[in-house]
Structure 1
Amino acid sequence: MPELTRDEVRHLADLARIDLSDAELDHLGPQLNVILDSVASIQGVAGDDVVPTSHPIGMTNVFRADVVGECLTPEQALAAAPAVEEQRFSVPRILGDEQ
């Protein structure tokens, strides 16, 4: 795999909106090349007959079915509330007018 040039490293830094000094560009170039070589070696492991997966084992849905059951009426839900206003819980205001 061809190595990244200093201009390519600078371009990547610009795309990421990272301001790098000349010393940092010289330092990061070889590190990025090692990362790219590692990714290239991993890409060669899987053959064409291997199906890409996101997990090593199959995933199943563990959620229960969404079934409507018995519900409280508004009056039952608000019966023990300390303050009620227009069939809603009334709570102290925590934000001022600056919302």
Structure 2
Amino acid sequence: MFLIIGLDEEDSGEIDFSGFSGNLRRDDRDNSRDCWRISDGNNFRVRSKNFIYDKSKVPAGKPLMELVAVDWFKDVKRMDHVAKRKGCAVQVAAEKGLFSLAINLQ
């Protein structure tokens, strides 16, 4: 499960993200393992405003939301409603009144 928080640029400096730990650590070094990191948005190309006419794409640039925590759960059966677990990053965001998006890949 990934927790993505939607923040305005001026809000991002005011919020302490240390409460959004997740169970997978963040490490921005290139050779790290068993962790997550944020990629540069310019590594991805998205459709431009003129894509419909000329099929052109442009670098994605800055993200609209900030990835703040990643939880990794492994089981042999489906794990539904992981965002409802007490103490998970989504619950912490809700308690702080923040908009969040949880993605549960199964």
TM-score normalised per structure 1:
0.18
TM-score normalised per structure 2:
0.18
Which is greater in Rg? Answer: 1
